[in-house]
Amino acid sequence: MTVRFQKIPLVCLLVLFCLSGSLLAASPVEKHGALTVKDGKLTDKNGEVVVLRGMSLFWSQWMPQFYNEKTVKWLVDDWNVSIIRAAMAVEAGGYLRNPEQEKAKVFAVIDACIAANIYVMVDWHDHKAVDHEKEAIAFFKEVATKYGKHPHIIYETYNEPLNTHSWEQIKKYHEAVVTEIRKIDPNNLILLGSSSWDQAVDEASKSPLEGFSNLAYTFHFYASDRNHQERLRARADTAIKNGLCLFVSEWGVGESSGDGVFDVEKTDRWVQWMEENKLSWCVWSIADKVETTAALRPGASPDGNWKESDLTPGGKYIREKLRTLNKTEPGR
């Protein structure tokens, strides 16, 4: 009996190859694993410089509807994020008043990010954390105990210290919180805020924390704000030159108020600067309020599945940037 083999057209083989490749592609955490700060850069398990790009959720007490698995999954599948920032509110009806309620929201996001194999930034979203050191330590000890074994976890211990807080005050707070985290989780990345809403990174670079490993420093800006241009970039450039590893844990397309204009040219310049310096970033924010930096229009579903009509101009811009810049990532 003669067995005949039918020839498969080359184009079909190419399609099958591409499909098999996409199915086998690694997710961000599968590819990069545990993150390490080395020579002022964020590197992965292979020692390669890694750039994470994603979205920040809004204050947890005011936009709780987006702290869920479906929102996370949509941001992973459609926006191609490799990281999500869970901004746990501390004051104004947040953790200080309702600790269990706010923790439950953040833990739901952490669980969803781990399931999706992306990174998750656990943000103590507090402008006055120096006054809440005890509470911050208790929270981060619980997070480290519950999740510290996972390489997905990134701790952000102090969101935007005020300009009335000196670096020495802030540094003392960081030393206390980092010490307690490291007793439980010796490895995962910890992000540290600096004075003046995370803009005084040049000051922090002159006297960084010592005696701890795997620390980076947060840098924030609002791309269209006239006060957040060359002079602010110069402060960050100084910090980088001094060897500090920077992580842009929050930036927005509008002005520092969260509202104002959306200047595409200024925003493009900031994105270009981050790419040139290989800085990881999260954008403010997944929210459906009437505000320039909100990515969603009022009434957008908390389950994802957003149409283009659900997105603000800023939301459309950021989605496209994420889909373009992250497209070379395996699994993207």
- Burial code (b: 16+ CB inside 10 Å, e: under 16) for 291-320 equals bbbbbbeeebbbebebeeebbbebbebbbe
Rounded to whole angstroms, the Cα distance separating 299 from 290 reads 10
What distances in angstroms separate CA 259 from CA 222, 291, 306, one per listed residue? 10, 5, 22
Question: How deeply is 109 buried, as exposed, middle or buried, from its count of CB atoms within 10 A (0-12, 13-18, 19+)?
Answer: buried
Neighbouring C-beta atoms of residue 68, cutoff 10 Å? 16
Rounded to whole angstroms, the Cα distance separating 296 from 309 reads 9
Phi then psi for 164, rounded to 5 degrees? -85, -5
Active-site positions read 160, 250
Write the DSSP assignment of 233-270 as a string of letters.
HHHHHHHHHTTPPEEEEEEESS-TTS-S---HHHHHHH
Phi then psi for 281, rounded to 5 degrees? -155, 155
285 cis-preceded (ω within 30 degrees of 0): yes
Question: How deeply is 222 buried, as exposed, middle or buried, from its count of CB atoms within 10 A (0-12, 13-18, 19+)?
Answer: buried
Helix (H/G/I), strand (E/B), else coil: 323: helix
- CA angle at residue 267 from 29 to 39, to 5 degrees? 45
Residue 306 half-sphere exposure toward CB, CA atoms < 13 A? 31
Six-digit token pair at 290? Answer: 């009437």
Cα Rg of the chain (Å, integer): 21
